[in-house]
Amino acid sequence: MFSIQKKGHTEYSLFIHNNLYRNEFYKFFIQNNFLPFGFINNLTNELVFHAEKVCLLKDCIKDCIKDYNKNESYCLHMIQSLSYQIKYFEKKGLTFLGFNIQDILVINDTQFFIAETSFVRPIHSSFIHLLVPYEKPYFSSPEIINATCLPSKIHYKSCYYSLGTLVVFVILNEYLLKANEVLTLEMIKSKLKPIYLSKMYWFLLRCLTEKVENRIILFV
């Protein structure tokens, strides 16, 4: 859980309630210069930064899904930001079970960040180990859906599928995991017909391929 507050005309504070990965998230934001003039208030454990506009993705998604061509650059910024964050945390030995749309912070309509730590899990030899009951994210993967018993072991690239389902939802207003149904790749291709053979199309197929080990995050 996290809280965002407006402190002044352009000053905001972010507080991540769960202290398990709080410092890792704060370091990510500051070390990569993603949040202008960002610093940690050691008295309140808040991350203070400046921005012209701050919102949650769930609150600003409506304009994006109305017209994909008009908002393509918006979606590309989202892919770039979230892909970078996923890769950054992989280098730290961490990954995500998936995402909820209310967990993504949008800064100045150009930077997108996962601000919720509850879906973060450590990676052990390319896998995450699910040992206790857990909340399943809305944007997840076939591996998460099919993990019906504990303990379970899931490849760290499972979250690439989660990213793909989120992007499809934003650009096409299409949720790929309705009723926890796992679509075949051919069924997914059918859903992606409006963007057929575009760079976005190929990016999504790389994320949503059925064999988890073969998934990659690459937009070219």
- Would you say residue 67 has pLDDT above 70? no
- Would you say residue 148 has pLDDT above 90? no
CA distance 41 to 30: 12
The domain that holds 153 is classified in CATH as 1.10.510.10
- The parent domain of residue 23 ranges over 1-52
Shared domain check, 100 and 62 = yes
- Would you say residue 145 has pLDDT above 90? yes
Shared domain check, 45 and 77 = no
Does this model's pTM top 0.85?
A: yes
pLDDT in tens, 17-37: 988 999 999 999 888 777 878
CA separation, residue 16 to residues 26, 54, 103, 194 (Å): 9, 16, 11, 38
In a domain, 220, yes or no: no
Shared domain check, 179 and 78 = yes
CA distance 144 to 130: 10
Indicate the residue among 30, 52, 74 that finishes a domain: 52
Q: What band does 146 get if pLDDT is binned at 50, 70 and 90? A: very high
CA distance 25 to 46: 11
Q: How many Å is the Cα radius of gyration of the chain?
A: 17
Shared domain check, 166 and 77 = yes
What is the domain count for the chain?
2
Is the Cβ–Cβ distance between 47 and 15 less than 8 Å?
A: yes
- The average pLDDT across 193-213 equals 95
Shared domain check, 142 and 132 = yes
Q: Is 152 exposed, middle or buried (0-12, 13-18, 19+ CB in 10 A)?
A: middle
- Name the region of 86 (left: φ>0; alpha: ψ -120 to 50; beta: rest): alpha
Q: What band does 73 get if pLDDT is binned at 50, 70 and 90? A: confident
Collapsed DSSP state (helix, strand, coil) of residue 57: helix
pLDDT value at residue 195? 92
Structure tokens, 8: 């002044």
Is the Cβ–Cβ distance between 77 and 110 less than 8 Å?
A: yes
Q: Is 16 exposed, middle or buried (0-12, 13-18, 19+ CB in 10 A)?
A: buried
Q: How many CA atoms lie within 13 A of 141 on its CB side?
A: 25
- The average pLDDT across 194-215 equals 96
Shared domain check, 169 and 78 = yes
pLDDT value at residue 68? 55
- Would you say residue 91 has pLDDT above 80? yes
Letter for the amino acid at 141?
S
